[in-house]
């Protein structure tokens, strides 16, 4: 039952995020293309002496927590309970989105966004694994044998 609800919720949530990433927040197509491939350059900018609290919340906190629900994709597909498979799948998808932002001129293709989004997904994954291990929300998930031993050793 939870799988059906989560599948519908994550689908709608994904469509909403894609809309926001390409059309929301006053975004419009531009002939200018922005590409930032230096890891942590944007992130360190937000920890500088002249910190703008709103920009920090949107860019750092937002990019992490907005993507944490994707760490729960293991509720839909058993394959996505494996950290390697989930991480590679997520990285591929988020890189495609960043590339599409670059091609369309709607937003900036930024490696730091990939890092922060992936961190958020990993936090969601960790929460799901901990929830299953400690039965916080009465969630039962499939854990591969190798990972089951790792989780049970905590």
Measured between alpha carbons, how far is residue 43 from residues 39, 81, 86, 111, 127 in Å? Answer: 8, 29, 24, 10, 24
Query: Which pLDDT tens digits describe the chain residue by residue (154 residues)?
Result: 678 888 999 999 999 999 999 998 777 777 778 899 999 998 988 887 877 888 888 888 889 999 999 999 988 888 998 999 999 999 999 999 999 999 999 888 999 999 999 999 999 999 988 888 887 777 666 555 555 444 443 3
Closest CA to 70 of 14, 114, 8, 15: 14
DSSP-derived letter for residue 84 is H
Place of tokens 């509720």: 75
Structure tokens at 104: 């369309």
Backbone phi, then psi, for 129, in 5-degree steps? -65, -45
Rounded Cα gap, residues 40 and 34, in angstroms: 16
């Amino acid at each position: 039952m939870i799988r059906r609800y989560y599948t519908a919720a994550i689908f709608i949530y994904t469509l909403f995020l894609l809309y926001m990433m390409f059309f929301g927040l006053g975004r419009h197509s531009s002939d200018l293309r922005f590409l930032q491939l230096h890891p942590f350059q944007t992130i360190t900018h937000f920890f500088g002496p002249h910190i703008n609290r709103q920009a920090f919340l949107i860019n750092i906190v937002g990019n992490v927590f907005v993507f944490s629900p994707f760490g729960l994709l293991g509720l839909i597909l058993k394959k996505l309970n494996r950290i390697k498979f989930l991480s590679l799948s997520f990285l591929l998808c988020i890189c495609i989105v960043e590339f599409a932002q670059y091609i369309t001129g709607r937003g900036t293709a930024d490696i730091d966004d990939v890092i922060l989004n992936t961190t958020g997904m990993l936090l969601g994954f960790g929460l799901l694994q901990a929830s299953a291990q400690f039965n916080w929300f009465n969630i039962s998930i499939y854990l591969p044998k190798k990972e089951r031993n790792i989780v049970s050793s905590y």
